[in-house]
Amino acid sequence: MFGLPHGATSGADINATIPAMNYRHAFHAGNHADVLKHVVLLALCDALTRKPSPCFALDTHAGRGLYRLDGEAAQTTGEARDGISRLLAESPRQPLLRRYLAAVQACRARHGDSAYPGSPWLLGYALRAQDRIAVCELHPEEAHVLRSQLAGDPRLTVHERDGYQALKALLPPRHGATRFGRGLVLIDPPYEAQLAEFDIALAALHDGLIRWPQGMFALWYPIKQGRTLQPFRRAAARLPAKSALLLELLVRPDDSPLRMNGSGMLLLNPPWQFDSAMGSALEALRDALGEAGASTRVDWLRAPP
């Protein structure tokens, strides 16, 4: 596992669809992993929109785009209480966290006090009229809800298809005569295949970089026992990106394989000085959401040239 030779994709086949029919993100919306992922996503979008030229965003595992934290699924797990709900109560001053909370409040102003935005909603919120967004969801029921949630946004296209396969079809991105030189690919799989999913994701990242070398790529991943991810980190460092940055938030020690103790984001070709910006944000998240033994990690697997 996690083997990625130089100049080649891994042995995993990104055309092989991993069954993800049992996973429903509604049970986990707004938890500490969502908070980390969405803080990073908004910061990446803000970096992209500092330049006037249009950009493109692809979300490969979109879910339904918008969630209700008072719904049965969210109430069953209660995970949002230790995520977005706790962060709102803390009211942190760190700028990137305030930006994220402003987006959540904007979503609630539009959709009700229990609403929580998924990454497709946040992409629509953060990007501009000249930008284009493609979101993929394989599960038919989730894709149907996603279309209805995001209907009316001319910038956004919903694809009911496997997100990994969409990388081949949609990269390099174009819209009519417009070719996008800048943009972002978010890969946020459910990891129902557990460690095998990392191989699929690494192969997808390698293929995506070959097709769109100037794009930014962000892979979210769960952390149960951090030591089991060392082969993944080594393989990620060998990807053909100009730079590779690892961001991790552990809300408790990563000493149990039975629960998600934290999560991370692998960023390929991230914005200039993104490590400095995210370092203080991760520390603020640790202070707000962490239990005893919580920690953060900001690590260049490949420093910028």
Reported residue count of the chain is: 305
Reading phi first (left if > 0) and then psi (alpha if -120 to 50, else beta), residue 238 is in alpha
Q: Is 199 labeled as catalytic in the residue annotation?
A: no
**For the chain, where are the alpha helices, taking DSSP H only?**
32-48, 72-77, 84-90, 95-111, 119-126, 140-150, 163-170, 195-211, 230-237, 274-289
- Residue spans of the domains in the chain: they are 25-302
**How far lies 83's CA from each of 77, 78, 100, in Å?**
12, 9, 13
pLDDT in tens, 173-202: 998 888 999 999 999 998 877 788 999 999
- The CATH T-level fold of domain 25-302 is Rossmann fold (3.40.50)
pLDDT in tens, 63-72: 999 999 999 9
pLDDT at 77: 86
**How far lies 66's CA from each of 76, 77, 146, in Å?**
17, 17, 8
Please state the residue numbers annotated as binding site.
38, 61, 119, 137, 162-163, 188
Model confidence at 255, in pLDDT bands (50, 70, 90)? Answer: confident
Please state the residue numbers annotated as binding site for S-adenosyl-L-methionine.
38, 61, 119, 137, 162-163, 188
**Of all helices (H) and strands (E), which one includes residue 218?**
strand 216-223
Query: Which residues, at least 6 apart from 159, have a Cβ–Cβ distance to it below 8 Å?
Result: 134, 135, 136, 137, 166, 170
Is it the case that residue 239 has pLDDT exceeding 50?
Answer: yes
- Alpha carbon distance 95, 184 (integer Å): 22
Is it the case that residue 221 has pLDDT exceeding 50?
Answer: yes
Query: Which residues, at least 6 apart from 200, have a Cβ–Cβ distance to it below 8 Å?
Result: 12, 13, 14, 16, 18, 164, 189, 193
pLDDT at 3: 57
Q: Is 130 helix (H, G, I), strand (E, B) or coil?
A: coil
Q: Is 214 helix (H, G, I), strand (E, B) or coil?
A: coil
pLDDT at 124: 98
Q: Which of 34, 131, 188, 199 is flagged as catalytic?
A: 188
Supply φ then ψ for residue 166, to 5 degrees. Answer: -65, -25
With pLDDT > 70 as the criterion, what percentage of the chain qualifies? Answer: 92
- Least confident among 6-20, 176-190, 286-300: 6-20
Q: How many CB atoms lie within 10 A of CB 221?
A: 22
Q: How many CB atoms lie within 10 A of CB 232?
A: 22
pLDDT in tens, 73-104: 889 888 999 999 999 999 999 999 999 999 99
pLDDT in tens, 37-51: 999 999 999 999 999
